[in-house]
Structure 1
Amino acid sequence: MSTDDALQKLISQPLVPLKANWQVPSQQALLTQARAVQEREGMDGYWAWAARHLRWMQPWSRVVSGGFPDFRYFEEGRLNVCDNCVDRWAEDPARKGRTALIWEGEPGDVVRLSYAELRDQVARCANALKSLGVAKGDVVALYLPNLPEAIVAIQACNRIGAIYTVLFAGFSPEAVALRLQTARAKLLITADSCWRRGRALPLLAQARKARPSCPALENVLVVERSGEAANLQAGEHGWRDRVDSQSADCPCEPMEANEPAFLIFTSGTESKPKGVVHSSAGFLLGAWANVQWQIGPQDDDVYWCATDIGWLTFPIQAAVGGLAHGATLVCYEGAFDTPTPDRFYRIAEQHGVTKILSAPTALRMLRALGDDMRRAHPLPQLRLITVQGEPLDPATFQWTVEAFDVPVVNAYGQTETGSTWTYPVYGVEPLKPGSCGTPVPGHAYAILDDAGQPVPPGNKGNLVLCHPFPTLARTIWDDPARYRSAYFERFPGHYSSSDEAVEDADGHLWVLGRADDVINVAAHRISTIEIESIVCGQTGVGDGAVVGVNDALKGMVPVAFVVLRADADRDAVLRAIDQAVIASIGAIARLARIIPCRALPKTRAGKTMRRLLREAVETGRITGDATGLEDASSLDAVLEAVRTTRPDPPG
């Protein structure tokens, strides 16, 4: 079978119609209305329709002006993100007592906040920020784990018009310092420590190492998570002393729709991180729409965005998008397998979770734990599982649908797009294992060859977006020229995603990964996700990743890392993987090595750090940047597996 045949086999998955118990009539009615508006008035008409679901302080003069890259939405319109996410629910007699947040710490402690209580805490925090010299337009950095104070701080910044940026709690002092310097942050909010895998990690100590190289940083606000913040140094302020003593009276700052709300740093190979800037009304509106179509909030939902606050998904789906719907959110501090492997299941059970969003790796983790554990935790209240952040392989999709009897919505977006924009709308549209569905209202794409010409369905090409939309990043912090060159120069008139994709015969989009994840084996172009889907689809495989590594003869060759299920026959599974790749794609794609290992290196957002796997194979060491790594011991597991696995796959 050729590589083209393998791609066609991958994208020829059958449509999965929605079962009766998966359908949501109210969602169908709203989507019908939205699509009718778009058909009648165009995409800008749709965004005006969506914007009317928000509370504005001053009406806009026009929906959109300009095109790529200098577009603006809702000019002269003014609103406040916090007002829309917190105050309007706290002012509603029917909603103010509703639970806004259920937080669980890794040691098992639980905090619940109603919308009225959340508004009180946000206003006090906003006044505390003002007392520390923070004003509209100043940058506040959050170096925090998943804590209630993180959500409070995000909305406090929104309330006064400060620009916030979230940093992974797993970042090293050097990585923190680089981002603080780039952002010119005036205030840092951190915690004395955070719990991860049964240990209290010293966040404040890490922040203190970063601080001397950040001259713009004037103060540090410290959340007392473990009681280790007793001996604060100059410029450090305890959360309880500084926040709890403030007045709960703090008006929301009217923000012009295009003013910056926050910046988030993208990962990449460049030495200097890119601070992607999102606008106030644009990001709020896109996050509202994202949650509407992907999650379909219902009055009795308990919604768990099972991701790290340092990943853009959390602000989109929870801290902004979820609260913009008045949803009840679940937030968890720690690792999904601590203190026992069934922690993920137990959180969902204890809090009555109805909808879960995570990365596909969370589903592979559940699959690897086995069917016995799944049967012990049936989660009958669950209505939806939705994933984003990495490609979802069809085998994991099928297992999840069958295991939980819920739709699995696979969504695609980027840091720069500020939301996911293509997926089957929850409760309405049919699913297809592994695909990203079709664009939700307000978005349009094309797949182009390298010359900028459209490719026909079934052919791979470069994924671009054809029309501006409110959540798309407006610039790169302090580097507008880089913004233009990175996203708009290669295909003029379009936003370039730098991802490869293909559209199937049903109009469903398949994102195959970064264009630089396409490997050239003896002059044949093969996407690693095509091979990875085959590897992860084999019985006995709990998780897997395929990377391309340099080879003196072929240029590059694919190598697979696999985490086997506990009951798997190791040698039989490795033989099956080898034979399946050859049968599905051809000998040209044969894996140079299949490396079983205990765990894969993942970020706290659940993304596999494939560049570290590549380095381990090529050099036998891992010296690359591992900031944001969830489990440091996974690197030892990978290196040991590389050293002890024979170089040739089983025949």
Structure 2
Amino acid sequence: MTVRTLEQVAKEALADPDRFWGRQAENLVWHRKWDRVLDWNPPFARWFAGGLLNASINCLDRHMGSDTKNKAAMIWESESGESRTLTYFQLYRYVNKFANALKDLGVKKGDRVTIYMPMVPELPVAMLACARLGATHSVVFSGFSSQALVDRINDAKSKVIVTADGGFRKGRLVDLKKVVDESLSSTPSVEHVVVLKRAGNAVKSGPKDVWWHEAIERASAYCEPEMVESTHPLFILYTSGTTGKPKGVMHGTGGYLTHLYATAKWVFDFKKTDVFFCTADIGWVTGHSYMVYAPLMHGLTEIMYDGAPDHPAPDRHWAVAEKHGATILYTTPTALRMYMKYGDAIPNSFDLSSLRLLGTVGEPINPEVWMWYFKTIGKERCPIVDTWWQTETGGIMLSACTGIDFVPMKPGSATFPVPGVDAAVVDEEGKTVAPGTKGYLVVKRPWPGMLLSLWGDDEKYKKTYWSRFEGMYYPGDYALADSDGYLWLLGRADDVLKVAGHRLGTMELESAFVSHRAIAEAAVAGRPDATKGEAIIAFLVPKEGVEKSDALRKEVVEHIRKTVGPIASPDEVYFVGKLPKTRSGKIMRRLLKSIASGDRIGDITTLEDGAAIDEVKQAYDELKKTLR
């Protein structure tokens, strides 16, 4: 077999993209092959037009005639230590039965089903059951409030809600059924609510309610899969903007699955013996793509963890990885920064020798955190794949590709575009900038995992992603390509600070703060300044045992002056115990900017444990007092 370098594969992909992506699509199970690889009517792409397939067949049925049938598909563990394992056959039967249960409730091809569940195996079961019927699933993160749920149900016009009586987060009950009940008077499209018994809490039973276990008992063991067009919407996933209603990102079936299958193999070099531990919540796209669809298509064993990374102790990822023999760990820089704060002793107390590959997702990783991950967790023997992508891109766009070629690692860089992705860094006019020059990340041509559109709003899709630079997809990120072609993400473009005429990315500033010996986490925000345009405000979480003092504040400021330059000196430095984050691990810089500027905080439904809105508001009142 001829071994090709990443550069060779990438050149081949861009030279003849139809041929290249057509070969990747052959990895899927098709009921009918496509007529054309791509119909491109900018900015709308129809991948593998004319093809028919089913996502659940590609995740489950394809394994029923092989040794994978009786292999563990999913190892689930809760923060309390409760554990379950489902083989591929058991998962296949479970999905078939629940698909029939949904069919009995009138769900059919083209219907939308909202899934509002805790991180339990029944969540991917519900997703795959929808896919089996050709229904479009819309998973809503289980920390959202009733109003956030109402907005998403009404936009999708969902026919059924699948939920649970409750879930648990940091030992506390999250009353999901109560949130659903509060939403029903405002969601006229909902005909039925399927309720899983998970927490055992008392719930009200209404006329639309159906117990999961009773529906399953009545259902037959096989459901004939509905063949759908390659462009048929597999799911809608809502992303929150800083203002306005959430955007319903709509992904198709054939193109999306092709992109996932290929990128999972290229980036993680999936092997049949792997135990893949992705720590993402399925309420976000990483959970959809690399916890549900990609690992199951490849026949892997995956770990699904239901709980916070630091409860009941700040060791959950290491304990779960050791217990179940994880070979790949895919987590967030935010979680790693949190773990760094507690030092090396905790991870060093676990046997992590089963790990062969480490990955990060969610936001750029600070070089200092990268080195800690590499040395303390990987013991300098595990490569790190730092992946960049979005809900809208469907799958990984920038990353090292260990399944193709090992290239030198650069701590903090997302490395190169994956094969078939034509990415560049451009200036305000859309022209490619010279190496080492900061600019805007763009994608110059379509790729199979790209969103079909925004649900019910083609104009907003065009305006949001395709209007900034003509003919190019603009993800909204600030970036730089170095002299070797490695790409560095510098933060969201709307988070770039303009200080006395200089453009400074939040990522580069935060990395400089974290490189200080005493700082575990950092978030930077800008505040309007009459003289400089914007003033830099820094929120820093010191490492365990570090005393917060004016002396440390002065030391940190001097450190920034030396590492970045005097222009980057923060006007104010606040030491805090924790930073506001979403449960997917992203720091909510918008809230910090509001606090720094004295503005209204606004929507906080994406905050971790956001279901307890009153509690979150109280926490932010306390945070504001701390920052005064």
TM-score by length of 1: 0.91
Q: Which residue of 2 aligns with 1:587?
A: 566
Query: Structure 2 vs 1, CA of residues 305 and 506 (structure 1 numbering), >3 Å: closer, same or farther?
Result: same
Q: Give 2:474's match in structure 1, choosing from 496, 500, 507.
A: 496
CA shift for structure 1 position 539:
0.9
Aligned residue runs from structure 1 range 383-422, under 5 A: 383-403=356-376, 404-405=378-379, 406-422=382-398
Deviations along 1:477-515, whole A, 9 cap, x unmatched? 111111112112222221111211110011001121221
SS in 2 for 1:595: strand
Per the alignment, do residues 639 and 573 of structure 1 end up closer, same or farther by CA in structure 2, a change over 3 Å counting? farther
Deviation at 1:45, TM superposition (A): 1.7
Deviations 1:4-39 (A, max 9, x none): xxxxxxxxxxxxxxxxxxxxxx9x958769818925
Number of the residue aligned with 1:514 = 492
Q: Is the CA contact 2:165–2:203 (under 8 Å) kept in the aligned structure 1?
A: no
Residue 70 of structure 1 and its aligned partner are, at CA, apart by 2.5
Residues 314 and 339 in structure 2, CA contact (< 8 A), matched pair in contact too: no
More deviation in 290-299 or 78-87?
290-299
Deviation at 1:248, TM superposition (A): 1.2
**2:594 alignment counterpart:** 615
Residue 186 of structure 2: aligned partner? 213
2:402 maps to which residue? 426
Q: Secondary structure at the match of 2:578?
A: coil
What whole-Å deviation, never above 9, does each CA across 1:214-245 have from its counterpart, x for those lacking one?
Answer: 11111111111012366421101111001233
Q: 2:37 aligns with which of 56, 63, 75?
A: 63
Indicate the residue corresponding to 1:43 in structure 2: 17
Structure 2 residue aligned with 1:463: 441
Contact residue 111 and residue 136 of structure 2 kept, 8 A: yes
Q: State the 1:106 CA deviation.
A: 2.3
User: CA distance change for structure 1 residues 411 and 316 in 2, over 3 Å: closer, same or farther?
Assistant: same
Which amino acid is 1:47 matched to? W
Which residue identity does 1:285 align to in structure 2?
T
Instruction: State the identity as a percent.
Output: 38
Residues 75 and 84 of structure 2 are in contact (CA less than 8 Å); yes or no, is this contact kept in structure 1?
Answer: yes
Within the candidate set 62, 67, 76, 2:50 is matched to: 76
Q: Offset of 1:40 from its aligned partner?
A: 9.0
| Residues 52-108 of structure 1: per-residue CA shift (max 9 Å, x gap) | 11111111112112253122211111111100101111232x111000000112222
Give 1:578 deviation, angstroms.
Answer: 0.8
C-alpha offsets along residues 596-634 of structure 1, whole Å, 9 cap, x if unaligned? 111111111111111112222222874532334247778
For 1:16-27, what aligned pairs fall within 5 Å after superposition?
Answer: none
CA offset digits 1:320-361 (Å, max 9, x no partner)? 111110110110111111112222221111111111111111
SS, match of residue 308 in structure 1: coil
Change in 2 beyond 3 A, CA 1:232/1:30: farther
1:107 corresponds to: 80
Q: Which residue of 2 aligns with 1:23?
A: none
Structure 2 counterparts to residues 565-584 of structure 1, below 5 A? 565-571=543-549, 573-584=552-563
**Deviation >6 Å, runs of 4+:** 30-34, 631-635
Paired residue for 2:317?
A: 344
Which deviates more from structure 2 when the two are superposed, residues 434-443 or residues 575-584? 575-584
1:203 maps onto 2:182 in alignment: no
5+ residue gaps, structure 2, are: none
Could you tell me how far 1:111 is from its partner in structure 2?
0.9
Q: Which residue of 2 aligns with 1:531?
A: 509
Note if contact 1:512-1:529 (Cα within 8 Å) is conserved in structure 2.
Answer: yes
CA distance 1:638–1:536, shift in 2 (3 Å): farther
Aligned residues: 619
| CA pair 643-39 structure 1, distance change in 2 beyond 3 A | closer
TM-score, reference length from structure 2:
0.94
The aligned counterpart of 2:331 is 358
The 3 A distance-change label for structure 1 pair 394 and 477 is: same
Task: Give the distance between the partners of 2:265 and 2:291, measured in 1 at CA.
Answer: 12
Aligned residue among 90, 110, 133 for 1:137: 110
User: Does 2:68 align with 1:89?
Assistant: no
Distance in 1, matches of 2:313 and 2:547, equals: 24
Contact 2:524 2:539 survives alignment (8 Å) = yes
Give yes or no for the alignment of 1:287 onto 2:257. no
Match of 1:248 among 213, 221, 224: 221
Matched, 1:626 2:605: yes
Q: Once the 2 structures are TM-superposed, how far is the Cα of residue 552 of structure 1 from its aligned partner? A: 4.1
Q: Does 1:643 align with 2:625?
A: yes
Write the mapping of 1:108-123 to structure 2, written as runs, cut at 5 A: 108-123=81-96
